Amino acid sequence: MTDYFHLNAEQGTIDTISNLGLAHLGDAVYELMVRSWLCLHGKATAKGLHRAAVHYVAAPAQAQRVENIFSILTQEEQDIFRRGRNASPHSIPQNASREEYQAATALEALFGWLYLQGRNDRLNELFALMMEE
């Protein structure tokens, strides 16, 4: 049985996933990390959790937080980031510019790629840097 919480997919399998597929998975990984972070930092009510989560996972907020980590990405991570940024989404949310949405998609693709490899330590390292004020 596959353990979907602790993946370590083969590189050949990961390479067959589209940029938007990686971003789709990475979006869920990032949102789960944000929700966990919020719960551990004292957000108590469901309404407060939802509002805070929406704030952190919105494309403009993700694009801004990417600046905290881009300089420490490895060359391979930068390549995945670029792949995600160059993906062609079908639509862009009204609250984000094209550049913000591309940066958010790139971040999500990177998080999806790291998750599929089981690189949870690296995910946690990048996430912690992103959440620093």
Which residues participate in catalysis according to the annotation? 27
The one-letter amino acid code at 48 reads G
Query: Which residue is listed with tokens 């946690």?
Result: 124
CA distance 110 to 106: 6
Q: What is the DSSP string of 13-81?
A: HHHTS-HHHHHHHHHHHHHHHHHHHHHHTT--SHHHHHHHHHHHHSHHHHHHHHTTTGGG--HHHHHHH
CA distance 110 to 126: 10
